[in-house]
Amino acid sequence: MEPRAEQVLALLREPGVLTEELRRRLLELLLESPFPPRISYEAFLAQADEDDRAEWVDGTIVHYSPASRTHQEIVRFLTALLSAYVEAHNLGVVLPAPFQMKLSRSGREPDLLFLTRDHLHRLHPTHLEGPADLVVEIVSPESAPRDRGEKFYEYQEAGIPEYWLIDPQAQWAEFYRLEPPGRYRLITEGSSGEYHSQALPGLRLRIEWLWAPPPLLEAFRYNQLIP
């Protein structure tokens, strides 16, 4: 223990300095380990709650704040559109959060992921073992450092072919594609226009839909899913 911490402990033990209850709590805090306990990914999955927003990162559990209404509206719209498109073309499966994606050093929970038919064998009842073929993250002020930092490089290292970053507060979207030598390149960005996904061939996504989702039938017709 650091000398200064030892001095504080000695002071707290002096009679009359603090109430007994406050002294007890401060001593507990000082004596606690500064590092959270490390657990295995299997243990994390075993204790994970479906309603708890948490991820496993380098052996520790990281908890996140609840999603906003705007965040959920974007996830709902994209889940409906992408699921309908994927099903119509028999491309694979679309899964919204909460669902775990296990990478080499972390168990992330993307807001939305797409997995091709060729990779469906990676799906387990509780998680996806390995990278998805497309990952979507909805950026919030709290999540921006992770989405643009840790997750960006983890997804790049894992070889996830396509990564969408959607910032509803700034009304700005960025679409990255993995290109040789295994680095993300920004393909399209902006608040409006049309994005053509490589992971979902033929999909036409109007970027402005993300800020003001249209009726689903309109988006379906635009992508020729219905007459």
Beta-carbon contacts of 70 under 8 Å, excluding residues fewer than 6 positions away, are: 168
Supply the pLDDT for residue 102: 93
CB count in 10 Å sphere of residue 81:
23
Q: Is the peptide bond before 98 cis (omega within 30 degrees of 0)?
A: yes
Beta-carbon contacts of 130 under 8 Å, excluding residues fewer than 6 positions away, are: 101, 102, 103, 119, 122, 158
Lookup result for tokens 């790049």: 156
Q: Which residues of the chain have pLDDT under 50?
A: 1
Token representation of residue 195: 């994005």
Supply the pLDDT for residue 62: 65
For the packed helices 20-31 and 3-12, what is the interaxial angle rounded to 10 degrees? 160
- The C-alpha atoms of residue 63 and residue 71 are separated, in whole angstroms, by 17
3-state secondary structure of 5: helix
Supply the pLDDT for residue 1: 46
CB count in 10 Å sphere of residue 131:
24
What pTM did the predictor assign?
Answer: 0.75
Token representation of residue 138: 């909805």
Alpha helix segments (H runs only) across the chain? 3-12, 20-31, 41-47, 69-88, 144-145, 151-158, 216-222
Supply the pLDDT for residue 29: 61
3.90.1570.10, 3.30.70.20, 3.40.50.2300, 3.40.140.10: which CATH number matches 67-222?
3.90.1570.10
**30 phi/psi in degrees, rounded to 5:** -70, -35
Supply the pLDDT for residue 141: 85
In the chain, list all ranges with CATH 3.90.1570.10. Answer: 67-222
> Could you tell me which of 46, 140, 55 has the C-alpha nearest to residue 99?
55
Supply the pLDDT for residue 183: 96
Supply the pLDDT for residue 122: 96
**181 phi/psi in degrees, rounded to 5:** -95, 50
Any bridge partners for residue 183, and if so which?
179
